[in-house]
Amino acid sequence: MLEIENLTVEAGGREILHDLSLNVMSGYTTVLFGPNGSGKSTLLMTIMGFSGFKVKSGRIILNGEDITDLPVNERAKRGIGMMMQRPPNLIGVRLKDLVQVTGKGKVDPVALAEDLNMSAFLDRDVNVGFSGGEIKRSEILQLEAQGPCLLLLDEPESGVDLVSIEKLGVKVHELLQGPSHCAGWRQRSGKAALIITHTGQILDYVEADRGYVMCNGTVACSGNPRELLGEIRKMGYNECIRCKMNRSNLIREIA
């Protein structure tokens, strides 16, 4: 579904991603691990197409189409939807109106909000004075209205209390997999996700298929997400960096 080929990205005059490549297959949930500042959010923002993130080289391919130079809304139209970590305040724009237009008038903001305990927020300005957890729920609400087939979730569990995490996790699960747990359904529905997580808590609610570890703006390792999380918990990211360097030295020696 999504192929990132040798992507080098600059933000704020600094190169953040270096020659990064990864794949998200249709129907698969992919998790991104990595220390703070490793470029995870930059990768998601670049895939969505935000203008502060300049692609210096490389390509982003969605379902066979090169979308590297497409504007944000064209990417959204092609099925990409993002939960931002720190979305901007929209003063004067009511959440209800944003959900309404996002759903192209085909969704009922009131019913969706009720389900997320967000009814009281519908008449409030988007993100203005929202707590961390409220921002997440507002983002999920918007994504439900949008119905994307590739979800980019930037730390969905951060800033959310333990009780709300469950509610949020179930919602993310529903967004991705519908009411059923069956992997076959997921593959047929073609929905995929790229999720940034530090704690791995979201893995209790969504069936993640593949994990990537990012360090210093590139992919250091990939594999089974639960195994990767276990290793990171045990040995930290330094081990990933050391391991990657060993591997590249090994490759150089063989060459």
Partner 1 sequence: MTSDQERRAKEALRKEASFGEDIDLEEYEEGSRELSTLESLEDLPQDTQRTMLDAGIEPSDKGKAGNFLLMDNTVVHSAIMGSGVELMPLSRALKVHDWLKDYIWKAVQPDTDKYTAESYLQKADGYFIRALPGAKVSMPVQTCLLLKNRNSKQYVHNVLVAEEGSEFEVVTGCATSREVEKGLHLGISEFYLKKGSKLSFTMIHNWSEFIGVRPRSAIVMEEGATYINNYVALKPVKNIQTYPTAHMNGRNGVCRFNSVAVAHPGSTMDMGSRAVLNAEGCKAELISRTITTGGTVIARGHLVGNSKNIKAHLECKGLILSDQGVQIAIPELEAHVPDVEMTHEAAVGKIAQDQVEYIMSRGMTEEEAVGMIVRGFLDVGIRGIPEHLRAEIDKALKETDVRGM
Q: How far apart (Å, rounded) are the C-alpha atoms in residues 218 and 19?
A: 7
Binding mask 128-147 for partner 1 (x = CB under 8 A): --------------x--xx-
Which residues between 11 and 40 bind partner 1 (CB under 8 A)?
A: none
> What's the min distance (Å) between Cβ of 45 and partner 1?
10
Q: Does 72 bind partner 1 (CB under 8 A)?
A: yes
* Contact flag: residue 115 with partner 1 (CB under 8 A): no
Nearest CA-CA partner of 215 in 202, 230, 228: 228
84 belongs to the binding site for partner 1 (CB under 8 A)? yes
How are strands ordered across the β-sheet holding 14-24?
Answer: 14-24, 2-11, 53-62, 65-66
Could you give the angle at which helices 237-254 and 225-235 cross, rounded to 10 degrees? Answer: 110
User: Of 39-58, which residues contact partner 1 (CB under 8 A)?
Assistant: 48-52
Among 26, 54, 87, 189, binds partner 1 (CB under 8 A): 87
Stretch that binds partner 1, among 91-99, 107-115, 175-183, 219-227 (CB under 8 A): 91-99
Neighbour count for residue 236 (Cβ, 10 Å): 11
60 Cα distance to chain centroid: 15
- Between 132-146 and 162-177, two packed helices, what is the crossing angle to 10 degrees? 10
Instruction: Give yes or no for residue 98 binding partner 1 (CB under 8 A).
Output: yes
Q: How far is the CB of 113 from partner 1 (least distance, A)?
A: 16
68: its two tokens: 């590297």
Q: Which stretch binds partner 1 (CB under 8 A): 67-75, 105-113, 173-181, 195-203?
A: 67-75
Contact between 92 and partner 1 (CB under 8 A)? yes
Please provide the DSSP assignment of 79-119 as one string.
TEEEE-SSPPPEEEEEHHHHHHHHTTT-S-HHHHHHHTT-G
What residue ranges bind partner 1 (CB under 8 A)?
48-52, 71-73, 75-77, 81-82, 84, 87-94, 97-98, 101-102, 104, 125, 142, 145-146
